[in-house]
Amino acid sequence: MVGPRGRLERVRVLGPCRSRNQIELSRTEAIRLGIDAPLRLSGHLDGTPEVTLIGPSGSVRTDGAIVAQRHLHLSPSDAAGLGVAPGQEIDLELDTPRATVLRHVALRLADDAVLEVHLDTDEANAAGLSGDAEGVLQRCPGCAARLRAVHPTAAHCAPTAPGVRNDQT
Ligand SMILES: [Zn+2]
């Protein structure tokens, strides 16, 4: 992946294919590339900067570069159990040696969603997260989530309320 200031090597490609290319970067990676990628939810790509993608069969220049807003994937039943609704945000307390509270964690509801928090590497590294572990999602006014440790790109968490527990591995 090449930008005006630099490049990123060995970039992971994720499917399934979408109608538009989406390039999810951390802020650090965007700075390395020399682009001002906006903070967006997945799929909100209008007006996003371009990069050049180089692969075994050639190269393509495409827009779609964003810094993905941190978010919690959950199903409608998860949301009902937690008392949250689409469009709301939650706070995520990270109980790590570099304890951090992440605000404005978006909710991404889908019928087949696996209950997971998605952070980028900047957020995870700043909070001192490592490995892959489970945490506890606590029901409260405004719904604060609490995780003890998470993988930088996929944190698994489980609601505390009986009947809505949904451990994911
Ligand atoms: Zn996600």
Cα of 93 vs centre of ligand 1, distance in Å, is: 18
Cα of 99 vs centre of ligand 1, distance in Å, is: 22
Q: How far is CA 53 from the centre of its chain?
A: 22
Q: Residue 135 is encoded by which pair of tokens? A: 């945490």
Q: What pLDDT, on the 0 to 100 scale, is given for residue 20?
A: 94
In 3D space, the residue among 143, 152, 47, 26 whose CA is nearest the CA of residue 87 turns out to be 143
CA angle at 67 for the pair 45 and 128, rounded to the nearest 5°:
160
Cα of 20 vs centre of ligand 1, distance in Å, is: 17
Cα of 114 vs centre of ligand 1, distance in Å, is: 10
Cα of 57 vs centre of ligand 1, distance in Å, is: 28
Positive or negative, the CA dihedral 145, 146, 147, 152 is: positive
Domain range list for the chain: 1-68, 71-159
Contact by Cβ (8 Å): 105, 92: yes
Q: What pLDDT, on the 0 to 100 scale, is given for residue 137?
A: 65
Q: Residue 151 pLDDT more than 90?
A: no
Contact by Cβ (8 Å): 61, 50: yes
Q: What is the 3-state secondary structure (H, E, C) of 65-78?
A: EEEECCEEEECHHH
pLDDT in tens, 20-78: 999 999 999 999 999 999 999 999 999 999 999 999 999 999 999 999 999 999 999 98
Q: What pLDDT, on the 0 to 100 scale, is given for residue 152?
A: 44
pTM recorded for the entire structure: 0.76
Q: Residue 11 pLDDT more than 80?
A: yes
In 3D space, the residue among 163, 52, 147 whose CA is nearest the CA of residue 91 turns out to be 147
Q: Residue 142 pLDDT more than 90?
A: no
Cα of 72 vs centre of ligand 1, distance in Å, is: 7
Q: Residue 168 pLDDT more than 50?
A: no
Cα of 71 vs centre of ligand 1, distance in Å, is: 6
Q: What pLDDT, on the 0 to 100 scale, is given for residue 1?
A: 98
All residues at 6 or more sequence positions from 11 whose CB lies less than 8 Å from its CB, including other chains: 1, 53
Q: With H, G, I as helix, E, B as strand and everything else as coil, classify residue 43.
A: coil
Which is more confidently placed, 7 or 163? Answer: 7
Cα of 156 vs centre of ligand 1, distance in Å, is: 12
Rounded Cα gap, residues 14 and 9, in angstroms: 15
Task: Say which range, 24-28, 63-67, 87-91, 151-155, has the weakest mean pLDDT.
Answer: 151-155
